[in-house]
Amino acid sequence: MAKELLKVKDLKQYFPIKGGMLGRTINHVKAVDGISFNVYEGETVSVVGESGCGKSTTGRAILRLDEPTSGEVEFDGEDLLALSKRKMRKKRKDLQVIFQDPYASINPRQTVRQILEEALDIQNVVPKAERGKKIADLMETVGLGAHQADRFPHEFSGGQRQRIGIARALSVDPKLIIADEAVSALDVSIQAQVINLMKKLQREFSLTYLFIAHDLGVVRHISDRVIVMYLGKIVEIGDTTSIFDNPQHPYTKALLSAIPVPDPEPEHKKERVILQGDVPSPIDPPTGCRFHTRCPFATDKCKVDVPELRSEDYMKEGHMAACHYQKEIEAGTHTAKY
Amino acid sequence: MAETTDILVEEPILEVRNLQTSFFTKEFEVKAVDGVNFAVPKGKTLGIVGESGSGKSITSLSILRLIKNPGKIKGGEIIFKGENLLDKTESQMRQIRGNEISMIFQEPMTSLNPVYTVGQQISEAFIIHQNMSKKEAMLRSVEMLELVGIPSPKQRVKQYPHELSGGMRQRVMIAMALACDPELLIADEPTTALDVTIQAQILELMEDLQDRLGMSTIMITHDLGVVAETCDYVAVMYMGKVVEYATVKDLFKNPKHPYTVGLLNSLPRHDIDLGEEDLTVIQGSVPAPDQIPEGCRFAPRCPFASDICHERLPHLEQSEDGNQIRCWIYTDEWDGDPEVNVNGERTS
Amino acid sequence: MFTFIVRRIIQTIPVLIGVTILTFSMMHLIPGDPAQIIAGESASPEQIELMRERLGLNDPLPVQYFDYIRGVVTGDLGNSIRSGRAVSSEVFLRLRPTIELAVYSTILSVFIGLIAGVFAAVRRGGLSDSLVMIVALFGLSLPNFWLGLMLIQYLAIGIDIFGINTGWFAASGWGTWQQQVLPVLTLGTAGAAIIARMTRSSMLEVIDQDYIRTARAKGVKERVVIYRHALKNALIPVVTVVGLQFGTLLGGAVLTETVFAINGLGRLIVDSIRARDFPIVQGGVLIFALLFVFVNIAVDVIYRLLNKRIDLN
């Protein structure tokens, strides 16, 4: 097995809520509430879930864009949370991020060349004399012409700007790229181009991706492994095929069944589970299993006991789900209430 | 050969013919909707699908004549129940809006007025169109909230939009749109801003209400999955024009326009494992509005484009099955490979 | 709501302390010996020493400050040097015209400002929009006292046009409406201009919102769309400006009252500065500051009532 590049252990990210007469902290938004996972070198791990599940917060916490409340983040054998601010900045060379809206994260008054030069400058990995060539190479690598380097970001289309974002991330030869909804804002035809590009770059530069997304079609196509989150917790984790073809957690099943398929007469008309209600607030998450308020299989036990991630003997290695009844549901001895 | 303007659909509730809507900037005219034709069969759902810049949303706003400066409806006809909406006065249009034709929008977060309760906002439709008293209208609003599946509607009716979740707000939007029992509902990306489990709830609700109330629907979306699940007919738009109009079954089983084929192929699907294979992509990107191609709008990105495609714009032509296609490949004038099969590389 | 008001009042405590420190130190920042000034030019050293003792000027500063605070809390702001009467009664006597002037001016500027702002916003980019904005810019740039003098010249003293004298209003005093029109106009113009500009930009922002499109799609009349759906939202930022404006008005009142010879607090302060009647100045400034603080609390409350999105707690 490949080397573990990123180890996240019991990561928690609570955001305080101020209020009351004197503006004290009266509660917390438990955005990420104790999650653990590993990412191996060269693989793509996707974190999926609906808004408020904590997937983006997880990415930000790993990068220390927000300081995590507690937990451990080990990257390439080093504890990121123990690093000083200065050392962390240095370390960011190895952990790059691509956001959903590349335009929001680049200076509109800089040309692409200046943007890339700045990135190279900060991390100082390429000698000054070679930077011009490096920039030309980067532009070609992400499918833009080297001659476009002196244009401003607004002269590019959305898809091209995302390529600029990728070029900037690549410029410092990172080990891990965290892509936070990197292709979500793009039109289908452009999205496909960017996905193909990201896969190509992964092969060429043996990159590791932590891919945060809500579009499960994209996730299936790009990932080796998938983490499903719900209200700040991991409910299921496993290799892509297991998650999509053999989901164990009722939430994963509902999520997959809710996606409309571009086929008016699917071969096997799947049974759609339509979940009732909304995702509860992460301020006062439900006790026990957080999904119990919407779960068609929930019992009294689910309201009290917090289920742990575990594997069953019929599940593939590394595939784990956090449901008290996963085995019974699989065997058909525990049935849905609606 | 003339442009097809008549669309053979039995009993259309709405027919759009050669609709043109443009936006005027100082330098040039952006032809957002550039000669669009389609029909909505009574009681059915028509999907209008396309990527950003295709003109699908502008088309829907044009139907209700809600285009604002610097936009302008330049020409065409919008025939609703036998009458051209473009000939109506503004006050006649107000009688139609929210009454005979209603609309719901993409962003439930921003589409409701933050300073009025949901009850006040639904009531308004009753008060305007049915001359109800405030009290009566409020009672009917409670019934509408119940109809769209909002729990404890008597309490909810007094709440402000920010007190509701996104899914609940979209239900409120639907309640408001359906208040006066419209004959046509235009839904502009109604689930795009929602999470997928909430989207499933809203789509199910819309389908159920259509069954019960019998209205016709135009579903505007970029999501081919939503089209497949909710629509009976589809119009695919690209750069302000309809390139293909077909029944949902035909479109997905046998897409004809290279753009439609390209869209279907570039969509990564959660239910199909492509393994290590790359997605089939449409090359390039949509040209800027001031650089509209001479011939077929799609020619610069089309893998099959031949000389004629770059020179002349193809017409939207109807085949025997009632479907329509705007592509030279299916005409006698086609000058490219006679054996071309646009569906050759379909993966599903 | 109650918690919010209480919290807001608690939050003003540091401001009030700051204000009292400022007014307190006025006494000590003025050039010369306050005791000398109060006792008068011809006072003997013994009389000055007596005065210093009476004023507590020999005590350490913190003690003097707390004495002062005790006075403020109990309403004892000292005595006027000129009249010898209690500062509090002198100040309160003059407070009414000032408050009336500020309130009427505010009403006028809100009224004109809102109408002009909405009018301009609805005709965005048109000729009437530009006209309104140019007039507003003028209104904003006219110095208060100059406008007052001009109004007196043309509408109080009056000029003859076709045999009609335009001297319709009174040039001084405060009581009848003839006396009130010109000062209110003088003081309200700048505010009206600011509110017009603010309303216009706020309306323009609101008009492009999705919920305005929703209202139109519902078949709502354009007039109702503007006044019911848009204006109520556009008012939210305007309210804040009105609150700040009120403070400016109080300041402006000093000039306006002087120009129109109104016996208000502003003029009292100006006269007292001239007469070196510092206890009065101190008291007057304190009252102004208190008024400003409480008007802003009121504005905050209105803001929250209008803006349903803000959780009151």
The predicted pLDDT at position B8 comes to: 55
Residue B2 has pLDDT above 50, yes or no: no
Of B66, B115, B125, the CB nearest to C233: B115
Domains of chain C: which residue ranges?
Answer: 95-306
Q: How far is B59 from chain C (nearest CA, A)?
A: 14
B31: Cβ contacts below 8 Å, ≥ 6 apart: B20, B22, B240, B289, B292
The predicted pLDDT at position B272 comes to: 86
Residues of chain B neighbouring A218 (CB-CB closer than 8 A): 268
- Cβ distance C219 to B125 less than 8 Å, yes or no, reads yes
A128: Cβ contacts below 8 Å, ≥ 6 apart: none
- Cβ distance C210 to B105 less than 8 Å, yes or no, reads yes
* Residue B115 sits at the chain C interface (C-beta within 8 Å): yes
Phi, psi angles (nearest 5°) of residue C311: -70, 130
- Cβ distance B196 to A214 less than 8 Å, yes or no, reads yes
On the CB side of B190, CA atoms within 13 Å amount to 34
How many degrees, rounded to 5, is the angle at CA C207 between CA C202 and CA C208? 105
Structure tokens at A230: 């719900």
Q: Residue B346 — very low, low, confident or very high, per pLDDT cuts 50/70/90?
A: very low
* Residue C273 sits at the chain B interface (C-beta within 8 Å): no
Question: Do A180 and B306 touch, CB atoms closer than 8 A?
Answer: no
Q: What is the ipTM of this complex?
A: 0.89
Residues of chain B neighbouring A221 (CB-CB closer than 8 A): 268-269, 274, 279
Residue B340 has pLDDT above 90, yes or no: no
C117: Cβ contacts below 8 Å, ≥ 6 apart: C195, C196, C197, C198, C199, C200, C202, C203, C238
Tell me the residues of chain C between 101 and 140 that have a Cβ less than 8 Å away from chain B.
none
Low-confidence ranges of chain C (pLDDT < 50): 312-313
Of A187, A220, A254, the CB nearest to B268: A220
Q: Distance of alpha carbon A286 from its chain centroid, rounded? A: 24
Of C12, C23, C22, the closest CA to residue C284 belongs to C23
* Residue C306 sits at the chain B interface (C-beta within 8 Å): yes
- Cβ distance A264 to B262 less than 8 Å, yes or no, reads no
The predicted pLDDT at position A22 comes to: 63
Residues of chain A neighbouring B237 (CB-CB closer than 8 A): none
B72: Cβ contacts below 8 Å, ≥ 6 apart: B21, B22, B23, B24
Quick one: three-class SS letters along chain B? CCCCCCCCCCCEEEEEEEEEEEEECCCCEEEEEEEEEEEEECCCEEEEECCCCCCHHHHHHHHCCCCCCCEEEEEEEEEECCEEHHHCCHHHHHHHECCCEEEECCCCCCCCCCCCCHHHHHHHHHHHHHCCCHHHHHHHHHHHHHHCCCCCHHHHCCCCHHHCCHHHHHHHHHHHHHCCCCCEEEEECCCCCCCHHHHHHHHHHHHHHHHHHCCEEEEEECCHHHHHHHCCEEEEEECCEEEEEEEHHHHHHCCCCHHHHHHHHHCCCCCCCCCCCCCCCCCCCCCCCCCCCCCCCCHHHCCCCCHHHHHCCCCCEECCCCCEECCHHHCCCCCCCCCCCCCCCCCC
State how far the Cα of A260 lies from the Cα of B200, in Å rounded to an integer.
8
Beta bridge partners of A213: A48
Please give the interface size between A and B, counted as residue pairs whose CB atoms are below 8 Å apart. 130
| Nearest-by-CA chain A residue for C9 | A21
Residues of chain A that touch chain C, judged by Cβ-Cβ distance less than 8 Å = 19-23
State how far the Cα of B53 lies from the Cα of B61, in Å rounded to an integer.
14
* Residue C41 sits at the chain B interface (C-beta within 8 Å): no
Tell me the residues of chain A between 89 and 108 that have a Cβ less than 8 Å away from chain B.
none
Residue B147 has pLDDT above 60, yes or no: yes
Structure tokens at A218: 């994209």
The CA-atom distances, in angstroms, between C302 and each of A261, C231, C307 are 50, 15, 8
CATH of C95-306, one of 1.10.3720.10, 2.10.69.10, 3.60.70.12, 3.40.50.620: 1.10.3720.10
* Residue B112 sits at the chain C interface (C-beta within 8 Å): yes
- Best residue in C218, C224, C232, C233 for a mutation probing chain B (most B CBs within 10 Å): C218
Higher pLDDT, B97 or C60: B97
Low-confidence ranges of chain A (pLDDT < 70): 1, 19-23, 102, 267-270
* Residue B264 sits at the chain A interface (C-beta within 8 Å): yes
- Cβ distance B128 to C219 less than 8 Å, yes or no, reads yes
How high does pLDDT run on average in chain B?
91
Which stretch of B22-31, B255-264, C18-27, C219-228 has the lowest confidence by average pLDDT? C18-27
Q: Distance of alpha carbon B327 from its chain centroid, rounded? A: 21
Q: How far is C300 from chain A (nearest CA, A)?
A: 16
Q: Residue B347 — very low, low, confident or very high, per pLDDT cuts 50/70/90?
A: very low
Q: How far is A262 from chain C (nearest CA, A)?
A: 29
Question: Do B298 and A189 touch, CB atoms closer than 8 A?
Answer: no
Q: Residue A27: in which H helix or E strand, if any?
A: strand A24-40
- Cβ distance B273 to A244 less than 8 Å, yes or no, reads yes
Neighbours of chain A (3+ CB pairs under 8 A): B, C
- Cβ distance A22 to C6 less than 8 Å, yes or no, reads no
* Residue C7 sits at the chain A interface (C-beta within 8 Å): yes
Q: pLDDT tens, C11-29?
A: 888 888 888 888 788 767 7
The predicted pLDDT at position A269 comes to: 57
* Residue C218 sits at the chain B interface (C-beta within 8 Å): yes
- Cβ distance B222 to A188 less than 8 Å, yes or no, reads yes
* Residue C1 sits at the chain A interface (C-beta within 8 Å): no
Give the residue-averaged pLDDT of B61-68. Answer: 95
State how far the Cα of C251 lies from the Cα of C292, in Å rounded to an integer.
10
Q: pLDDT tens, B226-253?
A: 999 999 999 999 999 999 999 999 999 9
- Cβ distance C214 to B124 less than 8 Å, yes or no, reads no
| Nearest-by-CA chain B residue for C304 | B115
| Nearest-by-CA chain A residue for B199 | A258
* Helix-, strand-, coil-residue percentages of chain A, each rounded to 5: 35, 25, 40
Question: Do A119 and A96 touch, CB atoms closer than 8 A?
Answer: no
Structure tokens at C245: 């404006």
State how far the Cα of C122 lies from the Cα of C106, in Å rounded to an integer.
24
The predicted pLDDT at position A20 comes to: 62
Structure tokens at C40: 């008068």
Of C210, C229, C232, the CB nearest to B111: C210
Q: pLDDT tens, B268-296?
A: 999 888 888 888 889 988 888 778 899 99
